[in-house]
Amino acid sequence: MPDFTFVATGAMVAAAGAKPVFADVNPKTFTIDVAEVERVITARTRAIVPVHLYGQPADIAGLTRLARRHNLRIIWDAAQSHGAHSQGRDVGSFQDVVCYSFYPTKNMTTGEGGMLTTSHNSLAKQLRLLRSHGEASRYRHVRIGFNFRTTDIASAIGNVQLAKLPKAIIARQRNARILTQGLSGIPGLQTPEPAPDTGHAFSLFTICIDAKHAGMSRDELAAALKQCGIQSAVHYPLPLHRQPVFRGYGLDRDFPISARLARSVLSLPVHPGVTADDCHYIVQSVREILRVGND
């Protein structure tokens, strides 16, 4: 699994009784680096857990080839990628299991909750049993399960949100285009570079600030944007191998890209409530703060 992601990706692995092993990420897409994964595969490896970070699909073709070669399962973390595409297919359609979050900041929400997709029928059956106390038919329980059911109220919200998702993604992609155009070419500022043949869902629009070339640090830029009434956020300030909860994992290895991203990433507003004018204001504000002229 990638070293650079939200903590829940690693927690899911640990909660399943497995040991999370971190791999560094690609400097352009910020998703797990296939060559780095290959370096840490051992005879004890069971699965790869890539993350479609910020709405950018990971290298699905490369990871799938690698998994086949080593007979591994893939559990995709698509918490930030509802509506993202790769090779013309929705990211939710790939093997083996795809995990979604419906937390309020995601591309669609049910208030709280999530969803798994899989095309393995036997696995789907087991997952349905786990969801509701192992109940195979009314009051007949065939395995220990849980109450992981989505409530009816949450489902009603989700149905409406799902219908709105395509428009919401178009708005996010439009905002991302304006921001990318306006912010490109600024020394020390890296804009997102969607990988070829992918449809980035822009759950987050995350730039990188190289303090040496930008003339100020990521945190200084965030503070100045706040003065302009622009909220920004850091996703994420600590790589997983530096999280207290994962102390001891991965300390024998370096994760240079992940470490650099933790120091330099800053997410700017991109959600569908942000208008084109808002985007131009964000661009203008960043350029003024970093003292670069308008194109």
Decide whether 63 or 183 has the Cβ nearer to ligand PLP.
63
By CB under 6 A, tell whether 79 contacts ligand PLP.
yes
- β-pairing, 73-77 with 47-48? parallel
By CB under 6 A, tell whether 206 contacts ligand PLP.
no
Binding mask 5-34 for ligand PLP (x = CB under 6 A): xx-xx-------------------------
Give CA torsion, residues 242, 247, 251, 256, to 10 deg: -10
Place of tokens 């960043």: 286
Strand order in the sheet with 265-268: 189-190, 205-209, 265-268
By CB under 6 A, tell whether 81 contacts ligand PLP.
no
Binding mask 110-149 for ligand PLP (x = CB under 6 A): ----x-----------------------------------
* H or E element in which residue 134 lies: none
Total Cβ atoms within 10 A of residue 123: 14
Decide whether 234 or 292 has the Cβ nearer to ligand PLP.
234
Distance CA 53, CA 224 (A): 26
Q: Are 25 and 32 in contact (CB under 8 A)?
A: yes
In whole angstroms, the minimum distance from the beta carbon of 99 to ligand PLP comes to 7
Which of 34, 77, 91, 262 touches ligand PLP (CB under 6 A)?
77
Which of 34, 51, 75, 266 touches ligand PLP (CB under 6 A)?
51
Q: Residue 221 corresponds to which tokens in the numbers above?
A: 């830029």
Where on the chain is the footprint of ligand PLP (CB under 6 A)? Answer: 5-6, 8-9, 51, 77, 79-80, 101, 103, 114
